[in-house]
Amino acid sequence: MYSFPDNFLWGTATASYQIEGAVSEDGRGRSIWDTFCHTPGKVFHGDTGDIACDHYHLWRQDVELMARLGLNSYRFSVAWPRVQPDGAGPFNQAGLDFYRRLLDYLAEHGIAAAVTLYHWDLPQALQDAGGWTNRDTAGRFADYAQEVVRRLGDGVRLWTTLNEPWVSAHLGYGNGIHAPGVADLSSAYRAAHHLLLGHGLAARAVRSVMAPGSSVGITLSLSPARPASGSAADVEAAARVDGYANRWFLDPVLRGEYPEDLAGLLRPLVGEDHVRPDDLATVQAPVDFLGVNYYFCQTVAAAQGAPLPGDQPFPDFLRAWGRPSPAVPVTGKGWPIEPEGLTQLLTRIDTEYGHLPLYVTENGAAFPDYVGPDGAVNDPERTEYLDRHLKAAHDAIAAGADLRGYFCWSLLDNFEWADGYSQRFGLVWVDFKTRERIPKSSALWYAGVVSRNGLLPGE
Ligand code: IFM
């Protein structure tokens, strides 16, 4: 039996824009994702989050579903424009009331809440003033975060400032695949710095008002980078990609510094005028835990000679290509399935960054699921994926990591950003015409794991 520690949090994760819908109801303001989705050509199939899973109306049913699965925690995000429509100024009581009702209902069902304060739906009014490239947004974020925690405080176990600032910065401002759709390296690094600054300011602000028993941290998307070969060029390229994907965020949050190897490369390209003397001390605000989102590893080759088929370029300054992992199955999204990367990541954080409490705040896979003739959704690939990753998480605990919870991405099939509704990550199938929910076979398997607080050896 692979048993997990007592009081382990077993949950699923979602994010506001991906599930709520109701984008124009009860005083919600506009977000950058509303604008982006309604810009032709930006999102697959022209899909939008206008209705999504209609969780804004079906939240009771969704909580009851989690309770039936026996889950003891739920990670969701607050939509900034729903509670503070312009990102500054007055708060919207109707928006806050929605989250208050959700929190109360979760508590009634014995489900601990893990709340993310920013999962990418920036108020459009702030983007109109530069968004995360504008330093002022960091301060706005801290003010918003503090007020949300003050007003919703009771009953939240984990407060997370940001979800995956790497994605916000690099996909939102670096290559423009995500909202707000800016493609400029310098903007990406300014945005990354202001996101980190916003995290540091918000973490302090949240701590000053949060209820006893709550804790505050941040969630990073992390991806072990390993060389495609033993050549010195590939090893060095992998180290640069590690700096770009992992250390650029881990180091400032947990050590109060940017990694000098990458900073040295970036200095001539993006300058440093956006970094003020005390900023990194602010970014290194004490955190009670680190949230880790893990999906895949990067196999990295030095960009020299001709690329191999399937090689994907990283930004030019990294002089590196992402190479498909050989002989590894991939998910529906094409992501290599490499559970050992999760063990490696959790043990690395534990040994290199201090023995701090860790949560896997996201891990999961999209597969081309379908409803069978019997009305059931059988997804053995997802069950196998989760089983292997949970065993990998267990290995990390055995090696000493203080892992305290696991949140499967995702509770529901939902709006997968630039991929629209084409990628299904849910434990629960959603019919996007009727909004009917059907727990997949993986959900029933996960319920068994939760009830045993672990996995059986043959599972
Ligand atoms: O859907 C996203 C989520 O919003 C953030 N982390 C990765 C997931 C899958 O792509």
Q: What is the pLDDT of residues 299-344, one digit of tens each?
A: 999 999 999 999 999 999 999 999 998 788 999 999 999 999 999 9
Task: Report how far ligand 1's centroid is from the alpha carbon of 361 (Å).
Answer: 11
Domain spans of the chain, in order of start:
2-214+330-455
- 352 close to 340: Cβ distance less than 8 angstroms: no
Instruction: Choose among 144, 147, 120, 143: nearest CA to 132.
Output: 120
Query: 154 pLDDT band (50/70/90 cuts)?
Result: confident
pLDDT, tens digit (0-9, with 9 covering 90-100), for 156-178? 999 999 999 999 999 999 999 99
pLDDT of residue 444: 98
- The pLDDT assigned to 333 comes to 96
Å from CA of 329 to ligand 1 middle: 20
Report which secondary-structure segment, H or E, holds 205: helix 185-209
Q: Does 164 contact ligand 1 (Cβ within 6 A)?
A: yes
Q: Does 197 have pLDDT greater than 70?
A: yes
Mutate to test the pocket of ligand 1, among 362, 407, 414 (most ligand atoms within 8 A of CB): 362
Q: Which residues contact 250 (CB under 8 A, 6 or more apart)?
A: 220, 222, 349, 353
The CA–CA distances, whole Å, from 207 to 162, 183, 204 equal 15, 35, 5
Confidence at residue 388, expressed as pLDDT on a 0 to 100 scale: 98
Residues belonging to the active site = 164, 362
pLDDT (tens digit per residue) in 379-394: 999 999 999 999 999 9
Average pLDDT over residues 175-190: 98
- The residue behind tokens 């702030």 is 126
Q: Pick the residue whose CA is nearest to atom 10 on ligand 1.
A: 416
Residue 153: pLDDT above 90?
no
- The strand pairing partners of 191, in sequence order, are none
The response to whether residue 293 sits with its C-beta less than 6 Å from ligand 1 reads yes
**How close is the Cα of 416 to the center of ligand 1, in Å?**
7
Given a cut of 90, whether residue 104 has pLDDT beyond it is yes
Instruction: State the chain's mean pLDDT as an integer.
Output: 98
Q: Report the pLDDT value the prediction gives residue 72, as an integer from 0 to 100.
A: 98
What was the pLDDT predicted at 309?
94
**pLDDT at residue 327, as a whole number:** 80
CA–CA separation, 281 vs 256, rounded Å? Answer: 6
One-letter amino acid for residue 177 of the chain: I
Please identify, by atom number, the ligand 1 atom nearest to the C-alpha of residue 364.
9
Question: How many A from CA of 264 to the centre of ligand 1?
Answer: 30
Residue 459 has pLDDT above 90, yes or no: no
**Residue 306 φ then ψ, to 5°:** -100, 140
338 in contact with ligand 1, CB cutoff 6 A: no
Of residues 354, 344, 117, the one with CA closest to residue 255? 354
Nearest atom in ligand 1 to 366's CA = 9
- Mean pLDDT across 196-221: 98
pTM for the model: 0.98
Residue to probe by mutation, ligand 1, list 162, 410, 419, most atoms within 8 Å of CB = 410
The reported pLDDT for the residue numbered 38 is: 98
Residue 15 CB less than 6 A away from ligand 1 = yes
Span from the CA of 410 to the centroid of ligand 1 (angstroms): 9
Q: Which CATH superfamily is domain 2-214+330-455 in?
A: Glycosidases (3.20.20.80)
User: What burial class does residue 259 get, using C-beta atoms within 10 Å of its C-beta: 0-12 exposed, 13-18 middle, 19+ buried?
Assistant: buried
pLDDT score of 121 more than 80: yes
pLDDT of residue 336: 96
| Residue 315 token pair | 């930004």
Q: Which atom of ligand 1 is nearest to the CA of 333?
A: 10
Sign of the torsion angle spanned by Cα atoms 218, 10, 356, 340 = negative
Do 325 and 313 contact (CB within 8 A), yes or no?
no
Q: Looking at residues 286-299, what average pLDDT do you find?
A: 98
| Residue 121 CB less than 6 A away from ligand 1 | no
Please give the structure tokens belonging to residue 246.
Answer: 């992992």
Distance CA 212, CA 141 (A): 22
Instruction: Using the mean position of ligand 1's atoms as its centre, give its distance from the Cα of residue 425 in Å.
Output: 9
Q: Which residues contact 162 (CB under 8 A, 6 or more apart)?
A: 116, 117, 118, 168, 195, 198, 199, 202, 218, 219
Nearest atom (ligand 1) to Cα of 362: 6
423 lines ligand 1 (CB under 6 A): no
Which amino acid is residue 126, in one-letter code? L
Q: Is 416 in the pocket of ligand 1 (CB under 6 A)?
A: yes
- Give the residue, by CA position, lying nearest to ligand 1 atom 4: 15
Rounded average pLDDT over 375-382: 98
